[in-house]
Amino acid sequence: MNILVTGASKGIGRAIAQELKDIGKVFVTARTEAALKELGAEGYCLCDLTKDTEKLAEFIQANKIDVLINNAGEYIYGGIDEMTRSKIESIFKTDLEAPAYLISQAVPFMKEQKWGRIINIGSISGVMGEANASLYSAAKAGLIGLTKALALELAEYNITVNTINPGWVDTELGNNSIDESEFSKEEILECIPQRRFVKPEEIAKLTRYLISDDAKGITGQSINLCAGLSVGI
């Protein structure tokens, strides 16, 4: 299988790329070339999803990608009245428009061979909503809707489509979002039933399972991997 992981230079994407190296040819994409080279993947495409999606589409077609993992994402914290047109356009392009377009470019080959896996990395914010992160919540909620519809559309071709919704994750993005918020890490931990942040490796291992033949009956699902955050407090 030919696997593409977007946003693979760090955090969740990097963990996924490393986890999947032994089950197929792993290709990666991100905006930082040095970090991509360090991964030692089969190949990489230097790409900014707000403007380089055509370049990445060609890369997908050339390498016959049949496992697409839409991990790249952008997070913006602030009240809706603070959001400019450029911020709105940027987050929707990265978190929803780009994944949808990349799927449209990968699906023809998947259909042709009657097999494929599409895994979108969403967020618990797209399930529950997050005050002062309305754009992020909306984009990730859209990803869940896209997943459900595409699972129905592609089921007959043996293509599964699922979304993993992490809660607070122990990554640079997760820690930066704490810095931007009005709450301390200790206050956030008090709201998480397991009193811990999810590790990127946990998401990577779930991704591996969803690719496997053991998970062929799982499609159209929105799976919360959030240390209990989505259940309540």
Would you state the pLDDT for residue 200?
96
The model's pLDDT over 37-85, given as tens digits with 9 standing for 90+, comes to 999 899 999 999 999 899 999 999 999 999 999 999 999 999 999 999 9
Delineate the domains of the chain, giving CATH numbers in brackets: 2-168+199-225 (3.40.50.720)
Q: Determine the Cα–Cα distance for residues 127 and 114; give it in Å rounded to an integer.
A: 31
The model's pLDDT over 144-158, given as tens digits with 9 standing for 90+, comes to 999 999 999 999 999
What burial class does residue 79 get, using C-beta atoms within 10 Å of its C-beta: 0-12 exposed, 13-18 middle, 19+ buried?
Answer: exposed
Residues contacting residue 8 through CB under 8 Å, at least 6 positions apart: 14, 16, 17, 28, 29, 30, 36, 39, 41, 44, 71
- The pTM for the full model equals 0.93
Would you state the pLDDT for residue 231?
87
List the structure tokens of 176: 């930066």
Would you state the pLDDT for residue 184?
79
80: left (phi over 0), alpha (psi -120 to 50) or beta: alpha
Q: In this prediction, what percent of the chain has a pLDDT beyond 70?
A: 95
Would you state the pLDDT for residue 179?
62
Q: Determine the Cα–Cα distance for residues 165 and 124; give it in Å rounded to an integer.
A: 5
Q: Determine the Cα–Cα distance for residues 129 and 81; give it in Å rounded to an integer.
A: 17
DSSP string, 143-180: HHHHHHHHHHHHGGGTEEEEEEEE-SBSSHHHHHHHHH
Taking each helix axis from N to C terminus, what angle separates 53-62 and 98-113, rounded to the nearest 10 degrees?
20
Low-confidence ranges of the chain (pLDDT < 70): 173-182, 233
Sheet strands (E) in 31-145:
43-46, 67-70, 116-121
Would you state the pLDDT for residue 188?
83
Would you state the pLDDT for residue 50?
92
Would you state the pLDDT for residue 176?
64
Residue 50 CB neighbour total at 10 angstroms: 17
Q: Give the chain's radius of gyration (CA, Å).
A: 17
Residue 182 CB neighbour total at 10 angstroms: 8
**Does 101 participate in catalysis according to the annotation?**
no
Would you state the pLDDT for residue 225?
97
Active-site entry in 44, 136, 157, 209: 136
Would you state the pLDDT for residue 173?
67
Q: Determine the Cα–Cα distance for residues 189 and 218; give it in Å rounded to an integer.
A: 31
